[in-house]
Amino acid sequence: MYTFSFSSAVRADEEEYPESPAESDSWENWPRGPEIQGQTGCLMEMETGAVLYAKGGQDAMYPASITKVMTALIVLENCDLSSVVTMTETGLAYSQPESSGISAQAGEQFTVDQCLQMLMVRSANDVASQLAEYTAGSADVFVERMNSRAAELGCVNTHFTNATGSEDPGQYTCAYDMTLILRDALRYDRFREIIAANQITIPPTEYSDTRVYDNHVFLRQEGEYYYDGCLGGKTGYSESSGSTLVCAAERNGRVLVGAVLGAPDTASNAVDMRALFDYGFSEFNHVDLTRGYEMFVGVTPTAAPPKITDMPVSVTPEVTPALTTAAPTAEPAAVSSAGPADTSSEETQTISEVTAVPTPEVTQPVKITTSDADLNTDRSAERTDTTKKKLAIIAVIVLASAVAILLLLQRRARMIRERNRTEYRKRRNGGGEQ
State mean pLDDT over 281-303: 57
Comparing 16-20, 71-75, 163-167, 190-194, the range with the smallest average pLDDT is 16-20
416 compared with 250, residue with greater pLDDT: 250
Long-range contacts of 103-110 (CB under 8 A, 24+ apart): 103/208, 104/130, 104/207, 104/208, 105/207, 105/208, 107/207, 108/205, 108/206, 108/207, 108/208, 109/84, 109/85, 109/205, 110/84, 110/85, 110/202, 110/205
Among residues 291, 276, 215, 251, which one has the least CA distance to residue 36? 276
Q: Pinpoint the alpha helices (H) of 60-111.
A: 68-78, 89-92
Residues 6+ apart with CB under 8 A from 337: 384, 388
- In whole angstroms, what is the distance from residue 44 CA to residue 325 CA? 9
Q: Which fold has domain 2-288?
A: Beta-lactamase (3.40.710)
Q: Is the pTM of this model over 0.75?
A: no
Q: Any idea what DSSP says for residue 26?
A: G
pLDDT for 388: 79
pLDDT for 380: 65
Give, for 336, the enclosing helix (H) or strand (E): none
Residue 40 has pLDDT above 70, yes or no: yes
Helix, strand counts (H, E) of the chain: 9, 15
201 compared with 387, residue with greater pLDDT: 201
Q: What is the largest CA-CA distance in the chain?
A: 132
* CA atoms lying within 13 Å on the CB side of residue 375: 4
6 compared with 115, residue with greater pLDDT: 115
- In whole angstroms, what is the distance from residue 281 CA to residue 260 CA? 17
Alpha-carbon distances of 106 from 103, 129, 202, rounded to whole Å: 10, 13, 17
Mean pLDDT of the chain: 77
Residues 6+ apart with CB under 8 A from 159: 147, 150, 170, 171, 172, 173, 313, 315
- In whole angstroms, what is the distance from residue 414 CA to residue 216 CA? 32
Asked whether the bond before 328 is cis by omega within 30 degrees of 0, the reply is: no
| Burial class (CB within 10 angstroms; exposed 0-12, middle 13-18, buried 19+) of 102 | buried
pLDDT band at 154 (very low <50, low <70, confident <90, very high): very high
Write out pLDDT tens, residues 325-350. Answer: 333 333 333 333 333 344 433 333 33
Query: Which of 207-221, 284-298, 364-378, 386-400 holds the top average pLDDT?
Result: 207-221
Write out pLDDT tens, residues 225-237. Answer: 999 999 999 999 9
Percent of the chain with pLDDT over 70: 67
**What's the gap between Cα 52 and its chain centre?**
7
pLDDT for 372: 52
pLDDT band at 12 (very low <50, low <70, confident <90, very high): very low
